[in-house]
Amino acid sequence: MLFIAAIIFLVTVCVVMVVFYAASPKTVDIGHRLSRVLRPGATVGEEDSAAAGGHRAQNIFVAIGKLLPPPKGKKASQSRTILIRAGYRSDSAAMAFRGARLFFAVLCLAGIVWSGLMKINPFAMLMMGGFLGWMIPEMWLLHLTKARQKRLRLSLPDAMDLMVICVEVGLGLDQALLKVSEELEIVHPELSSELHMVSMEMRVGKTRIDALRELAFRTGLDDIKALVAILVQTDRFGTSIVQSLRTFSEELRTKRRQRAEEASAKVSVKMVPVLVFFIFPALMAVILGPAIISFFRVLVPMFK
C-alpha cells in the first residue's frame, strides 16, 4: 500500500510540475504585440479571453501528453478517427487527448486516495478510478461527435437545395460544392468546413471519388455516406446529377419529418417514469395525506 501511494504521489507531482510549466507565461507572440502597437487603447474582449484560455488549456494537455508514448497501429487510428469526427484535425489534438486522459486518471486516483475510498478495497478502487479517469475524455469526445453529427444532419437538406440550384444554373459539381461551402459558412459552419475541405483536396490533385469518400469517413454520418454513394454512381455511370440530387433532397426532407414525428411519439413514453417516480407520489401525498392524518387521529384514541 505504501508503494502504491508513493507511486501515485510521484505521478501527481510530475503532472503538477508539467501543468505549472505549461501554464507559466511565455513570450508574447508577434501578432499580439503588433496589435498593441497599432491599437494601444484596445482591450481584450471576452471572446479573446476565452480563446486564450482554451489555447492555454490545450498547451497544458499537450505538455502532459508528451509524458506518454504515442499509440501505434489500430489504437492510434481509432483515436485519430474520434478526434476528426469531433472536429479536431490539428496534429497536436492527439497529444492533447493523451494528456487529458493522463490528467483525469491521476486526478481520479488522487481523489480516491485523499477521500479515503481506498480503504474499502484498495485494488478495486484504484483500478476503477484509473479506468474512469482514462475514459472521461473519450466519453466527452463521443458526446461532441454526436452533437456535431446532429448539426451536420440538420444542415444537409439546406445544402442539397443549394446544390440543386447551383447545378441547374450550369455549374459543375466541383464549383457547386465550393459555392455551397461559401454560402453556408455563417449558417452551417461545420458542413461548410467539410465541403470546403473536399474542394481543397480536389484542387491539390485528389480525385473527386477519393475526396468524397474522405468526407464520408470524416463525418461518419449515414446521410452523407448515402450522398457520397449517389455522387459516385452518377460520376461513374453518367446519370443526371440534378435529378439524383433533387430526389435525395426530397428524401432528406422526408427523413427529417419522420425523425421529428418519432421524437414526438417518444415523449409520452419518456414521461411515464417521471410521472410514476416524481409527480404521482407528490400528488398522492397532497391528496391522501390529510385523509390519512385524520384517519389516524380518530383510530388511535379508540385503540387506547
Which domains are present in the chain?
2-27+56-120 (no CATH), 150-257 (1.20.81)
Which pLDDT score, from 0 to 100, does residue 61 have?
A: 75
pLDDT digits (tens, 9 = 90+) for 119-153: 777 778 888 888 888 888 889 889 999 999 999 98
Which pLDDT score, from 0 to 100, does residue 241 have?
A: 84
Please check whether residue 146 is in contact with residue 221, taking contact to mean a CB–CB distance below 8 angstroms: no
Q: Please list, in sequence order, all residues whose beta carbon lies within 8 angstroms of the beta carbon of residue 147, skipping any fewer than 6 positions away.
A: none
Average pLDDT over every residue of 254-273: 87
pTM, to two decimals: 0.69
pLDDT digits (tens, 9 = 90+) for 10-37: 666 665 665 555 544 444 444 444 454 4
Average pLDDT over every residue of 276-287: 85
Whether 58 shows a pLDDT value over 80: the answer reads no
Helical ranges in 24-169 per DSSP H:
30-38, 46-65, 74-86, 92-115, 122-168
3-state SS, residue 25: coil
Q: Please list, in sequence order, all residues whose beta carbon lies within 8 angstroms of the beta carbon of residue 177, skipping any fewer than 6 positions away.
A: 163, 195, 198, 199
What's the 3-state SS for 44-85? CCHHHHHHHHHHHHHHHHHHHHCCCCCCCCHHHHHHHHHHHH
Which pLDDT score, from 0 to 100, does residue 45 have?
A: 43
Q: Bigger pLDDT: 114 or 16? A: 114
High-pLDDT (> 90) share of the chain, %: 3
Please check whether residue 159 is in contact with residue 188, taking contact to mean a CB–CB distance below 8 angstroms: yes
CA distance 13 to 109: 13
